[in-house]
Chain A
Amino acid sequence: MAAEIVLEARDLTKRFGGVAAVNGMSLSVSKGEILGLIGPNGAGKTTMFDLLAGSVRVSAGSIRLMGRDITTEPAYRRLAGGMARTFQIPRPFPDLSLLENMLIARQSQTGERLWANFTAPRRIAAEERAAREKALGLLDLVALRRLADDPARVLSGGQRKLLELARVMMADPQVILLDEPAAGVNPALLEVLISRIQEINASGVTFVLIEHNIDMVSRLCNRIVVMAQGALLFQGRPDEVAKEPRVIEAYLGGASA
């Protein structure tokens, strides 16, 4: 592929005690693609995300984000580095308003430094105004603007997924890792979600998504990576994946990759 590689994992391994949840998995994601990551339950998909996002420490292997080695970089630095992730079970801040949830995600805010609140109040106010503007725009995009001042706990499961997507957009990420965005989302909201992902992707943002909803995966992704037992089982176009006997066998049980 000629396209620029934005995210690359090489021989990633994660051992929990004696069990290798991810075992020598490699992955490379090109700029602008929507890559699907699928596999049976327990294949190591979410652990793979945790490794990429830095919330779980790598046992072996390496990760590069836009050419930069981030294998040991702490999780909180990765969003500023251009990579965002959402969670399988969405994690809004329940007692913060939707707007505050959005504003949290903005990177390098002057007002997040303790002393700056006394030394540079004007600059902070200006940054806040700009961030608020952007946040309201993004909330509009996911049809949540009218709830901007409500606490996030009032949202339904599907709305929480939308909020998470909008929230990471506040950081202008280059790559977004979506963990099961369709799970528990009603069909109408799912359409909103799919079209927003497509729009964001069209603006140049790369996606990696874990998903069990095959219909959604085949609609969104041009390439699918299949994991089984912590390792790469197969990769290809959606139609190739659907026909591949090894994939079918892995899903139906007795996977012996």
Chain B
Amino acid sequence: MIDLLGYGAFFLSTALIFGLVTLGLNLQWGLTGLFNVGIAGFVAIGAYSSAILTTPDTADRIGGFGWPILAGWGAAALITAAAAAFTGYATLRLKSDYLAITTFGVAVVVQLVALNAQGLTGGPFGVAFIPRPFAGVQDQSVLFNFANVAVIAAVTLAVYLALERLSRSPWGRVLRALREDERAAIALGKSAQSYRIQAFAVGGAVMGLAGAVQAHFIGFIAPENYLPTLTFQVWAMLMVGGSGSNRGALLGAIVVWAIWVGSGSFTAAIVPADLQARAASLQIVAIGVMLCLILLWRPQGFFGSGRRTK
């Protein structure tokens, strides 16, 4: 029973971290209509930033700054915001599918840098010994998991409340206007360029923060954590939860992560050992099928505003 609770806390921690990333995407896509398919790249930038700044000195890798964890998180959010703002600036003239292809390219570049720039990222070996919050009680796994989920839930709640305030504010109203008709918004005195860069930066900051929180939760990161599958998962979470809704983003993250984990253990249980590696693809199939069902049954997702897709 206690083990189950501990596992529940562990599950929820991961799901809420995904929820954070999805909140960031909701600001960019749900509110502003920016087609960002480079999510994994921004999460990676946040994770590596915080990891590099907080880990102890390591041979052959830049580091040894030994910053406190919270400072690492803050820096991760700021650095990712800057990277996202730059991406936004560089892609100002691109819309929809062109923007998608470009952001996808950004994520591939980030992942390749993580894999190859050994002196900065540790290359394929990743970064280990990232300080974990509550490392002192690491041996008591239940207590450790509960303490972690409490911190992660607090961060998620703070970000959720801040984003709720922003989406209901005049600032959020401008983003929604840009999503609906950029030319009309410009004619009404709004600088589309400036708001687009802001939406990229704020959404990126949240994604980077999520990456940092996850890195410290696990204690180890490697380039294969940040493959396009991550981007796909987060998009599925937003679609299921309902694009445009912050509550939907969180709920979608929990539901999709449950299906992901559930289908993983299900296939592990029924598939013979020698086929396990291939059976892992069934997870993606499970998410894909569910996404199709949701889109047929409730296209706007659980909490979607019901606005028509363009």
Question: Which A residues form the contact surface with B (CB < 8 A)?
Answer: 53, 55, 74-80, 84-85, 87, 91-96, 100, 103-105, 107, 109-114, 117-118, 124, 128, 167-168, 171
Contact A113 B171 (CB under 8 A): yes
Contact A100 B183 (CB under 8 A): no
> A103 vs B307: C-alpha distance in the bound complex, in angstroms?
20
Please provide the 6 A-B residue pairs with the shortest distance between their CB atoms, ordered closest to farther.
A111-B170, A91-B184, A79-B189, A93-B180, A95-B307, A117-B169
Residues in B whose Cβ lies below 8 Å from that of A55: 183, 186-187
Q: Map CB proximity to A onto B172-213 as digits: 1 under 8 Å, 0 otherwise.
A: 011011001101111111111000001000100000000000
Q: Which parts of B145-163 form the interface with A (CB within 8 Å)? A: 162
Contact A74 B198 (CB under 8 A): no
Closest A residue to B166 using CB positions: A117
Does residue B305 face the partner (Cβ distance < 8 Å to A)? yes
> A93 vs B179: C-alpha distance in the bound complex, in angstroms?
9
Known: A93-B180, A96-B180, A128-B170. A114 touches B185 (CB 8 A): no
Closest A residue to B306 using CB positions: A95
Quote the shortest CB–CB distance from B177 to chain A (angstroms). Answer: 5
Residues in B whose Cβ lies below 8 Å from that of A74: 191
Does residue B93 face the partner (Cβ distance < 8 Å to A)? no
Contact B170 A79 (CB under 8 A): no
Residues in A whose Cβ lies below 8 Å from that of B184: 87, 91-93
Interface size on B, residues (CB 8 A): 27
Contact B189 A87 (CB under 8 A): no
Residues in A whose Cβ lies below 8 Å from that of B170: 103, 109-112, 117, 124, 128
> A111 vs B190: C-alpha distance in the bound complex, in angstroms?
13
Known: A114-B202, A124-B169. A95 touches B305 (CB 8 A): yes
Does residue B308 face the partner (Cβ distance < 8 Å to A)? yes
> A168 vs B162: C-alpha distance in the bound complex, in angstroms?
31
- Contact residue among B162, B173, B187, B191 (Cβ-Cβ distance under 8 Å from A103): B173
> A103 vs B191: C-alpha distance in the bound complex, in angstroms?
16
Question: Which B residues form the contact surface with A (CB < 8 A)?
Answer: 162, 165-166, 169-171, 173-174, 176-177, 180-181, 183-192, 198, 202, 305, 307-308
> A109 vs B170: C-alpha distance in the bound complex, in angstroms?
8
Residues in A whose Cβ lies below 8 Å from that of B176: 93, 95-96, 100
A to B CB contacts below 8 Å, 11 in the list: A55-B187, A79-B187, A84-B187, A93-B177, A93-B180, A103-B173, A104-B173, A105-B188, A117-B170, A128-B170, A168-B188
Residues in B whose Cβ lies below 8 Å from that of A117: 165-166, 169-171
Between A and B, how many residue pairs show CB distances below 8 Å? Answer: 89
Residues in A whose Cβ lies below 8 Å from that of B192: 76
- Contact residue among B183, B189, B198, B307 (Cβ-Cβ distance under 8 Å from A77): B189
Quote the shortest CB–CB distance from A127 to chain B (angstroms). Answer: 8
Closest A residue to B195 using CB positions: A112
Contact A104 B188 (CB under 8 A): yes
Residues in B whose Cβ lies below 8 Å from that of A78: 189
Contact A76 B190 (CB under 8 A): yes
Name which of A93, A103, A171 has the most chain B CB atoms within 10 A of its CB. A93
- A-B contacts besides A94-B181, A112-B171, 10 pairs, CB < 8 Å: A76-B187, A92-B181, A92-B184, A93-B177, A94-B180, A112-B173, A114-B166, A114-B202, A128-B170, A168-B188
Residues in A whose Cβ lies below 8 Å from that of B181: 91-94
Closest B residue to A53 using CB positions: B187
Name which of B162, B181, B188 has the most chain A CB atoms within 10 A of its CB. B188
> A85 vs B188: C-alpha distance in the bound complex, in angstroms?
8
Closest A residue to B165 using CB positions: A117
Quote the shortest CB–CB distance from B306 to chain A (angstroms). Answer: 9
Quote the shortest CB–CB distance from B181 to chain A (angstroms). Answer: 5
Quote the shortest CB–CB distance from B87 to chain A (angstroms). Answer: 18
Closest A residue to B199 using CB positions: A114
Residues in B whose Cβ lies below 8 Å from that of A100: 173, 176-177
Residues in A whose Cβ lies below 8 Å from that of B202: 114
Quote the shortest CB–CB distance from A128 to chain B (angstroms). Answer: 7
- Contact residue among A75, A77, A85, A114 (Cβ-Cβ distance under 8 Å from B171): A114
Contact A104 B177 (CB under 8 A): yes
Quote the shortest CB–CB distance from B187 to chain A (angstroms). Answer: 6
Quote the shortest CB–CB distance from B184 to chain A (angstroms). Answer: 4
Residues in B whose Cβ lies below 8 Å from that of A168: 188
> A89 vs B191: C-alpha distance in the bound complex, in angstroms?
22
Residues in B whose Cβ lies below 8 Å from that of A91: 181, 183-184, 187
Residues in A whose Cβ lies below 8 Å from that of B162: 118
> A74 vs B308: C-alpha distance in the bound complex, in angstroms?
31
Residues in A whose Cβ lies below 8 Å from that of B180: 93-96
Residues in A whose Cβ lies below 8 Å from that of B189: 76-80, 105, 107, 171
Contact B177 A96 (CB under 8 A): yes
Closest A residue to B191 using CB positions: A76
Residues in B whose Cβ lies below 8 Å from that of A113: 171
Closest B residue to A109 using CB positions: B170
